[in-house]
């Protein structure tokens, strides 16, 4: 990747342009070059948590709310895709958007339907593609950091049984999560968030605790992507070191890493998260 790519306020390169295109080709082409991997590590975790929720509450088809869902990547993986498959699927596609959508609908029709997926994002084009393809069953286009949800949005958010994310926290804060919980009207959806090590979780955990949650950090660390340049790596390591986070052996070796935090109603977190990461995920996280 070119070394003149601009940086955002966190010290990471700005990738805003890949989220606003009419289909995911630019998104996957850019992120493939960075070996973006965390949704693949998250997929078995989300499947296992959805299965546990299904059994715990006798809900045959739980609703998963994906915060910062972009083109519905987590939903596509849940429905049977793989990261390598998605990179190959979109990276070499030269046909029309309509033909790509039809091919994606075939993938959805062949996949499991034991969860309903709702996406929350600020990008209208990404949400439009994800819903047209069938990866998402519904979408909420909103910035809950800035605005309260509308009545329609509140109804969609309030139906969530499991709230997940794989990279937006750090930009999205406890403000959004609190608004999602408020929409549920006293019911506490389970949560599973993959958060880059460069971002603290303490303020989010404290806000969730005040709402009635316990939070557990699960497993080790999960590779998110390679640094785009030596400049990005230096900026991130400087930020981490200033915050007291040791990058040795992880970010210092060339990749960003995430941690997994699972939040459930008080008194249940340890039982819910027992063995939630499978062998394949744990090996990838080391």
pLDDT of 4: 60
pTM (whole model) above 0.75: yes
Domains of the chain, first to last? 16-285 (3.40.50.150)
pLDDT score of 219 more than 90: no
Computed over every residue of the chain, the mean pLDDT equals 92
Write down the pLDDT at residue 282: 35
Please tell me the distance from the alpha carbon of residue 269 to that of residue 265, in angstroms, as a whole number.
7
Measure the CA–CA gap between 13 and 256, rounded to whole angstroms. Answer: 12
Closest to 11 in 3D by CA, of 240, 236, 278: 236
Give the pLDDT score at 271.
86
Q: Give the tens place of pLDDT for each residue, 184-210.
A: 999 999 999 999 999 999 999 999 999
Q: Taking 90 as the threshold, does the pLDDT of residue 284 lie above it?
A: no
């Amino acid at each position: 990747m070119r070394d003149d790519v601009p940086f955002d306020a966190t010290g990471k390169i700005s990738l805003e342009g890949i989220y606003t295109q009419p289909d995911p080709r630019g998104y996957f082409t850019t992120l493939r070059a960075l070996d973006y991997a965390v949704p693949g590590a998250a997929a078995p975790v989300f499947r296992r948590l959805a299965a546990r929720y299904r059994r715990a509450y006798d809900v045959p088809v739980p609703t998963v709310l994906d915060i910062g869902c972009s083109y519905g990547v987590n939903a596509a993986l849940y429905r049977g895709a793989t990261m390598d498959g998605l990179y190959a699927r979109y990276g070499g596609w030269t046909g029309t958007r309509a033909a790509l959508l039809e091919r994606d609908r075939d993938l959805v029709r062949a996949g499991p339907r034991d969860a309903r997926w709702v996406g929350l994002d600020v990008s209208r084009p990404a949400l439009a593609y994800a819903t047209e393809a069938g990866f998402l069953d519904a979408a909420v286009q909103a910035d809950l950091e800035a605005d309260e949800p509308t009545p329609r949005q509140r109804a969609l958010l309030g139906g969530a049984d499991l709230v997940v994310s794989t990279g937006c926290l750090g930009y999205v804060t406890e403000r959004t999560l609190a608004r999602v919980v408020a929409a549920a009207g006293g019911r506490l959806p389970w949560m599973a968030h993959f958060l880059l090590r460069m971002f603290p979780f303490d303020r989010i955990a404290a806000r969730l605790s005040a709402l009635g949650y316990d939070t557990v950090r699960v497993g080790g660390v999960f590779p998110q992507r390679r640094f785009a340049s030596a400049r990005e790596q230096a900026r991130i390591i400087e930020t981490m070191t200033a915050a007291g986070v040791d990058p040795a052996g992880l970010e210092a070796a060339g990749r960003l890493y995430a941690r997994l935090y699972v939040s459930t109603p008080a008194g249940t977190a340890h039982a819910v998260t027992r063995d939630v990461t499978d062998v394949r995920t744990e090996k990838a996280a080391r």
